[in-house]
Structure 1
């Protein structure tokens, strides 16, 4: 006769009687992802006043999208999740469009910087400021740089950013997919809004309001509040501000007649200052360009993962 003991030792001796472990609730499975989102957002609360910071913020968003793609790829989507994933397919396209618009504006700023390169070269070869024709060319080139719109991203992109904001905050017991997609859309809306505001000099975008009980809500709200303060008064792009200040001073110097040695010394000083500011701007724009390109790839990767759910579902 076989006696079955209902204690732990029996389950160890007779593994075929072992019961299946209880399934973890969706919230607990999504919690590591949400805690990571909180930590990444908290890390952005430092030094938020430059294009270099903006590049870091864009890279953080890309990492969050990568984390979301990895989690969703390992999770099975229920039929009720399909509507959420379908909405993100649209949001994913919007984010890709925003990346394209941002890349175009960064390229425009980099091309605009060529006016500064030409002016610096013209002054450097002006025989210490004694070649009036070269100084005239330098002034014209600096004037062209100044006349270009500082930032001119299309106003229609603002509407795209607004469409990224998640519509319905998660409530009660919800699936992993819904928790993850909600976080992705909220953070995408926040950081894409900052990107467009900085590059476009457009109206300030109001971040989406998120429920306070979400694990990342405090960090999200703190970051939104901090950035709103920085964007007021158009004081954000420190590298661009430095270049504009250097150009203004250099323009004043080469437009003022002076005597011999003092003019040459002064010219050298402010040419070096403008060259340094131009180099800083170039480095920051290159960094931001690389970050936006990385975000495009991450957005495309997450969109591919969400679309996979529909291919799997159609085979069932």
Structure 2
């Protein structure tokens, strides 16, 4: 599988968010500087925690759960910052609202895609359970049934999910949204835009990792250059430079899947085939049962975190729309935003 060429670090296709807060462009009060600094320091700390001490932890369900928890905390933090800025929705420019609603609806679409894939993978658990049940008695007439179930499970795992296939287009669109809207005569607005930039970069990168893992394609893995002048830039680049090469190496290994727990089950399943042929399979069953149980539990944990993240994004979107309507500011944005205002995704709980 070919490796996409990483763009040079100094390349800024999305604009430099530091410039919009440079002293020559605006004056920030000590309070605003403090709010921004606190937000960005916390963002850097959360990103650092996503750099695994052991590369073997990358693309484990434990790491994926941690990444989603971190995203949830970051999205909660931006909601807190908006409150602390005391910037009412009525003071938001239409273009800010447009960007926010457009990004949020795409994040909901990604959540729905990830949820559908996790559900699909979990459905394969039934095939594994049926196979293990037929192998327990070591009855010759059930061995063929067990082998058929295991074959079906492996085919089920490598089958394509159209929702996951669609993630690439959504990610590409979100990369374009990293371009910052111009902010005029609003110090609070500039703080908000820069903070939102950090949230979008982190969210987009992690979404790309998930899309790559679920699709089996490194083309969904993103490399996002950011300005060295941003406080969280070093942590973010360290995360990318640590995780991206390892994921690409996993893809090159040629396994059935890049998800660690899923691959472990596949290896153990392949070890069962010789025993099925000679009738000695019961010896190897217990380790497989343990791995299958861990796989199911891991899928459930990640699914729950996707659900939580979905609800956080949806609640933020609903709050904005509610505030627009209550403030009487909804008429113009609704006309301008069209589908983005009312939602163009089939919103549901994952």
Task: Please name the residue that 2:289 is paired with.
Answer: 275
Report if the CA contact (8 A) 1:92-1:300 is conserved: yes
Task: Please name the residue that 1:163 is paired with.
Answer: 173
Q: Does the alignment pair 1:57 with 2:72?
A: no
Task: Please name the residue that 1:187 is paired with.
Answer: 202
Q: Does the alignment pair 1:221 with 2:232?
A: no
Report if the CA contact (8 A) 2:124-2:157 is conserved: no
How many angstroms apart in 2 are the aligned matches of 1:280 and 1:118? 17
Matches within 5 A, 1:67-106: 67-74=77-84, 75-77=86-88, 79=91, 81-106=93-118
Matches within 5 A, 1:196-207: 196-202=211-217, 203-207=219-223
Q: Are the structure 2 counterparts of residues 309 and 23 from structure 1 closer, same or farther at C-alpha, using a change threshold of 3 Å?
A: farther
For normalisation by structure 2, the TM-score amounts to 0.74
Report if the CA contact (8 A) 1:27-1:175 is conserved: no
Report if the CA contact (8 A) 2:71-2:309 is conserved: yes
Q: Deviations over 1:70-98 (max 9, x none)?
A: 21133305856442232011100100110
Matches within 5 A, 1:217-296: 217-232=233-248, 233-234=250-251, 236-255=258-277, 257=278, 263=280, 267-296=281-310
Please report how far the alpha carbon of residue 164 of structure 1 lies from its aligned counterpart in structure 2 after TM superposition: 2.1
Report if the CA contact (8 A) 1:119-1:141 is conserved: yes
Q: Does the alignment pair 1:144 with 2:152?
A: yes
Unaligned runs of 5+ in 2: 1-27, 331-350
How many angstroms apart in 2 are the aligned matches of 1:246 and 1:200? 22
SS at structure 1 position matched to 2:158: coil
Segment drifting more, 84-93 vs 72-81: 72-81
Report if the CA contact (8 A) 2:132-2:289 is conserved: yes
Q: Deviations over 1:20-73 (max 9, x none)?
A: xx9436443222111111111100101324122111101111111111112113
How many angstroms apart in 2 are the aligned matches of 1:57 and 1:190? 11
Q: Are the structure 2 counterparts of residues 301 and 70 from structure 1 closer, same or farther at C-alpha, using a change threshold of 3 Å?
A: farther
Q: Does the alignment pair 1:29 with 2:30?
A: no
Please report how far the alpha carbon of residue 157 of structure 1 lies from its aligned counterpart in structure 2 after TM superposition: 1.2
C-alpha RMSD of the superposition = 2.5
SS at structure 2 position matched to 1:36: helix
Please report how far the alpha carbon of residue 278 of structure 1 lies from its aligned counterpart in structure 2 after TM superposition: 0.5
The number of equivalent residue pairs is 283
Task: Please name the residue that 1:211 is paired with.
Answer: 227
Please report how far the alpha carbon of residue 169 of structure 1 lies from its aligned counterpart in structure 2 after TM superposition: 5.3
Q: Are the structure 2 counterparts of residues 88 and 170 from structure 1 closer, same or farther at C-alpha, using a change threshold of 3 Å?
A: closer
For normalisation by structure 1, the TM-score amounts to 0.82
The structure number with the bigger radius of gyration is 1
